[in-house]
Amino acid sequence: MKRRVPLAITFFFGIFMILQYFVPHPSVRLLASRFQQWAIIVLSFAYVLGVSNLIRVNGGKIIRKERDWIYKLVLVLALLGTISVGLIQGLARGTFFIDRIYMKMYMPMMATMYASLAFFIASA
């Protein structure tokens, strides 16, 4: 039950978001717009929850200087640095955030993850 209900909700909203492009009725577009607004709100809370959890869990380990605390410090500093650069400079093309952090760091890492996933799926 804990697994089926979230999957059913996700499936319903996913199908509905795809359906909005094939059914050009105004009521469907209005409902899809409402769903997207709610998704932005839920995503905002999820980001806040994720960042606060990451800082809380890793911050405690950094303070106690547990095993590999230096890597946890690098993680927290990179997170805070990325957030601060994004808030200060914005997300327009040509900014430091988009050109260097996103295009030259994040995109290659995601390509590496995708290639690794494809390799493991193909070799299974």
pLDDT value of residue 19? 84
* 99: amino acid identity, one letter: D
pLDDT value of residue 9? 87
pLDDT of 95 above 80: no
- Of the candidates 99, 7, 87, which has an alpha carbon nearest to the alpha carbon of residue 47? 87
Residue 92 exposed, middle or buried by CB count within 10 Å (0-12, 13-18, 19+): exposed
On whether the pTM is more than 0.75, the answer is no
**Alpha helices, DSSP H only, in 4-106?**
4-19, 26-63, 69-89, 96
pLDDT value of residue 98? 74
pLDDT (mean) for 36-57 = 93
pLDDT of 106 above 90: no
CA dihedral 37, 41, 42, 47 (to 10 degrees): 130
pLDDT value of residue 35? 87
pLDDT (mean) for 35-57 = 93
What's the chain's average pLDDT? 87
The dihedral sign for the CA sequence 46, 68, 98, 84: positive
- The span from the CA of 123 to the CA of 83, in Å, is 37
- The span from the CA of 79 to the CA of 101, in Å, is 12
